[in-house]
Amino acid sequence: MSGAGWAALLATLIVAVNLLCLAIAFRRLRRPDRRDALPDPLPPVTIIRPLRGIEAFSRETALSGLELDYPRYTTIFCVADAADPIVPLVEELIARFGAERVRLITGDVAVSANPKLNNCVKGWDAAQTEWVILADSNVLMPRDYIQRMLAALRPDTGLVCSTPAGSRPQGFWAELECAFLNSFQARWQYAGEALGFGFAQGKSMLWHKPFLDAQGGIAALGEEIAEDAAATKLVRRAGRHVHLVGQPFEQPLGPRSLQEVVQRQFRWARLRRVTFLPFFAPEILAGPLPALLLGALALPAFGLSPWLAPLLVLLPWYAAEAMLARGVGWHWSWRMPLALLVRDIVFPGIWAYAFVAGEVSWRGNAMKIRADGTDELIGAPAGAAGLPRDGRS
């Protein structure tokens, strides 16, 4: 076969694999919840939510977790600093819903270099139930949140998670974040889980507390720079699997800047590169650029213009993404095709950056993520290592 023939074959394979991935994710996301398998009676559950600072949707997301249609659950809000501006909101919610249902715990325990995890330790120790959910502050919980988490349990489950589904974007750059979160990252996670390669996501994690305690407790999640990477490896070592909820829970975005979106993608890409290199390396093939270049190289040999490559690659690619997003109820607007295109233009640079540079920015803080999985804040005071304290990722 000629070089042009090989290029055409590889381009076709890349497009076909991505279309197949989208189809698998669509089928998986359309699978109904196994509500008939829920235990009877429903077990008591503790929800632990680490908080830091006031965000655009802080009140709505916090309140959503206190109005669930579930008979027995307690919410523990964990705040590292008692002077944090989020504390008055939590105290207001305690006064409204009662101290039996809502608790506030301040201070953290340094079990790792991950302050988000450190912020959760006291909450984990205070939980009195066998089932515990660790949920980020910016997760918007539907009323059947806990039932949907429990419905994902299987006999071989070690952990149930949910990816974030970006919603309510305000402005084009927030639409770009939706393009990354939804039909790109979430679809790969759901396709991977359907094929037996489930990866944890720190947004919402349902743990059977005795299981995690037997594996070293919550401190074991500090073995990697990101608690979701540590959770994935811990569950696999135990011979179990990570499973995802039937439909991911919303993360309302609000306004975003281009710098915020790209810096967040830089950080997540670097984390994936240092924790799961064999899976991260081929991620470049998850975008259409390689297929576009190969197609443009091959088409002249078949008497066709190389400018047909964008049409032949992007049209089916983006049409399939649109069908997935609209078919499962994810955000879609007239600006999303342009957001997909911008995403796929910047993604190769993000992927390459993860290999050549360890420094990223996290909420205005310069941070270096080393290849051995450790990290440090650049210019931080002595002893102030690790990620900035936060309740979200």
- Model confidence over 321-352: pLDDT tens digits? 999 999 999 999 999 999 999 999 999 999 99
pLDDT score, position 368: 62
Cα angle value 335/13/179 (rounded, 5°): 20
Structure confidence by residue, pLDDT tens digits, 60-72:
999 999 999 999 9
Please give the structure tokens belonging to residue 96.
Answer: 């409204």
pLDDT at 358 over 80: no
Residues 103-109 have a mean pLDDT of 92
Are 206 and 161 in contact by the 8 Å Cβ rule? The answer is yes
Phi, psi of 265 (to 5 degrees): -70, -35
pLDDT score, position 174: 97
Q: Which amino acid is at 228?
A: D
Distance CA 298, CA 6 (A): 8
Are 206 and 127 in contact by the 8 Å Cβ rule? The answer is no
Share of the chain above pLDDT 70, in %: 91
Which helix (DSSP H) or strand (DSSP E) does residue 205 occupy? strand 204-208
Cα angle value 209/113/105 (rounded, 5°): 55
Q: Which of 26-40, 297-311, 316-330 has the highest mean pLDDT?
A: 316-330
pLDDT at 386 over 50: no
The whole-angstrom distance between residue 106's C-alpha and the CA centroid of its chain comes to 26
Distance CA 213, CA 209 (A): 6
Structure confidence by residue, pLDDT tens digits, 271-290:
888 888 888 999 999 999 99
Q: Name the 3-class secondary structure at 191.
A: helix
Are 231 and 159 in contact by the 8 Å Cβ rule? The answer is yes
pLDDT score, position 251: 96
pLDDT score, position 193: 93
pLDDT score, position 34: 79
Q: Which residues of 49-75 are buried (b: 16+ CB within 10 A; e: fewer)?
A: bbbbbebebbeebbbbbbebeeeebbb
What angle in degrees, to the nearest 10, is found between the helix axes of 172-180 and 336-356?
A: 60
Q: Name the 3-class secondary structure at 252.
A: strand
Q: Which domains does the chain have, with CATH numbers?
A: 40-165+196-256 (3.90.550.10)
Q: Name the 3-class secondary structure at 302.
A: helix
Higher pLDDT, 175 or 114: 175
Chain mean pLDDT for the chain: 89
Name the CA dihedral angle for 125, 128, 134, 138, rounded to a multiple of 10 degrees: -110
pLDDT at 370 over 80: no
